[in-house]
Chain A
Amino acid sequence: MITSQHSNSAADASANRQIGEPLLSVNHLSVHFPIGRTLFGSPTGVVRAVEDVSLYINGGETLGLVGESGCGKTTTGRAILRLLPEGSARISGEVNFKGVDMYRMSQRQLRPLRRHLQIIFQDPAGSLNPRMNIGDMIAEPMVVHGLADKREAPNVAGELLERVGLPAAAAGRYPHEFSGGQRQRIGIARALALKPDLIVCDEPVSALDVSIQAQILNLLEDLQSELGLAYLFIAHNLAVVEHFSDRIAVMYLGRIVETAPSKELCRNPRHPYTQALLSAVPKPEPRKLDRRIVLAGEVPSPAKPPSGCAFHPRCPLATERCKQQMPPLEPKQGGPGHLAACWETK
């Protein structure tokens, strides 16, 4: 179903890191949304959607970003693309893409750079303009960026549609005429039109049927090996990410709590939250099932994160220290590049 041709390259990826500068590196990114307004406009609280997140992606590599709903993974993706409304979000930190800080330039200066950094959305219906036909939708960005002139753009759009497994004749149709999986393919074709280096895949398959999920994932993998794309693959389903990614970062309440090459992370999870996530993954042989770790309680509000380690109210290992001090993201036992933020595990 899902081929895992990339899981072996995890070691290469971490080796690459030493050699050159990564394609994308995010340093200490925080995104805060002020909430509530007093009479004089000062906010009454702050939602810390993303807190001190650092990550990097090398060319041609896939980084999986996993976490529960509301943990800030989508916001992280949006912040990397600089798509968040800058009036309402307070963003700090650096997003270096191809050696330039995305937040050090004006939106106008940023536009030519956007070509190299595309996004595929979770909601295949909402991501396509209902009033625009498919061909125009794919051709327009190419024309704007000068990748094709007005006459040849429709042909290129047709080729792209065929590349993602749709007939070229689909170009003349409108989004409502397609099914969910087909729409997602259109979204992929649109992202590919600009010949990007990195695509942020924001839960690209979670709105689709399982059989379609596999098709889309295989398509994404084929495209990666063909075009040398790098992916930031955002998902809440660890099973999907495990097969798809070279490395995985696990987020909890706006912070990265563990990051490691994907095989290493799944075989040897160091953070109790990752362990709980892994135990929730359905296994093909239920009899071999280990004891499932069921987390008590709910995800705390990012407007009022718990003191110390944000995970401590739900953690089976929590101690007094966890309630008071925030554990740093530090190297743990295991393979190279395995980092976790936990006081209790080694």
Chain B
Amino acid sequence: MLLLIVIALFCYCTLPWSLKHYNSQHLNHALAAPSWRHWFGTDRLGRDLVARFAFGGAISLTLGFSAALISVVIGVSVGLLAGYAGGRTDALLMRAVDVLYGLPYILVVILLRVAVVGRLTNWLATIRCPDSSGVASVLVLLAGIGGVSWLTMARVIRAQVMSLRDQPFVEAARAAGLAPARIMIRHLFPNLVGVVVVYATLIVPGAILAESALSFLGLGVQPPVPTWGSLASAGEHAINPIHIRWWLIVWPCAGLSVALLCLYVVGDAVRDALDPRGR
């Protein structure tokens, strides 16, 4: 738990510094092993890996958490509505989910990119956003990943709601004349928190990995901007039988796995803290 906060704080607090240095190249220090000057070593262009790790981490974590947030908000609302209302509403919403499931998300991202990025860049430029094309591509990536990851959430929530819907306490709430919205928010949602939290912690790593896959295909965050995923995939090439430059791959992978591990632990803790039975 603390580790996650430390990593996140490190990534975000050093942003002003890492933003300046993540792309400064010192070719005569290329591929240097970790030392006092470069704690994490340098890559083949002599860029300091501490800066790249921190900046990449900030991007990866932001993407992961935003995707989880999007999927929680949309997925829970759709799942609750479909599961509780049942009948035609349910059929309509779930068929929509099925259709979206059918689209491969890479295709979704490509289409979104083609359709939106240009306009979004222009719009961001008009509101004087720095690095408008970079921000636009991250936003589109987020929309693509978030737009896909809520689908499973919606299904999971719907199934859960359907099993809760026939519980006597929901009937009691209906018999008490409470409005459906109130029943969903006050009576059903608190009983879903466990599932939501666990599932959200699963979406964060999924989104981070999806981002690295998309970046690898040139659809995600573009170099030289780093992410943990792209750092790791770049580091992969640096491992060969002649020169094992372990520092290229160890740091981003360690960051990723420690962050994810902590996330699961935090997720469990949050779930338990919200359950009155555990108190």
Contact = CB atoms under 8 A, between A and B. Distances in A.
Interface in B174-212: 174-179, 182, 186-187, 190-191, 193
By size class, the interface of chain B is 20 to 34
Interface stretch (A79-87, A162-170, A231-239, A312-320): A79-87
Interface string A111-151: 11111011101110011111111000000110011000000
Interface of B: 86-87, 167-169, 171-179, 182, 186-187, 190-191, 193, 274-277, 279
B277 A144 contact: no
Interface residues of A, number: 34
Contacts, number: 81
B176 A126 contact: no
Given A87-B86, A130-B276, A144 B169 contact: no
A332 interface: no
B160 to A, nearest CB: 13
Contact of B176 (A130, A144, A176): A144
Contact of A121 (B171, B176, B179): B171
A326 interface: no
Contact of B171 (A83, A111, A133): A83
Nearest to A113: B177
Contacts of B168: 121-123, 126-127
B276 A176 contact: yes
29 contacts: A83-B174, A87-B87, A114-B174, A114-B175, A114-B177, A115-B177, A119-B171, A121-B168, A121-B172, A127-B169, A128-B172, A129-B169, A129-B173, A129-B187, A129-B191, A130-B191, A130-B276, A131-B190, A131-B274, A131-B275, A140-B176, A141-B176, A141-B177, A144-B177, A144-B182, A174-B276, A174-B277, A174-B279, A176-B277
Nearest to A119: B175
Given A87-B87, A132-B190, A176-B276, A140 B169 contact: no
A176 B182 CA distance: 23
Given A87-B87, A131-B276, A176-B277, A126 B169 contact: yes
Contacts of A118: 175-176
Given A121-B171, A190-B172, 19 more contacts: A87-B86, A111-B178, A113-B177, A118-B175, A122-B168, A123-B168, A127-B171, A129-B169, A130-B277, A131-B274, A131-B276, A132-B186, A141-B176, A141-B177, A141-B178, A144-B177, A144-B178, A144-B179, A190-B176
A83 B276 contact: no
B187 A110 contact: no
A341 interface: no
Contacts of B178: 111, 140-141, 144
Contact of B172 (A85, A127, A130): A127
A194 interface: yes
Contacts of B176: 114-115, 118, 140-141, 144, 190, 194
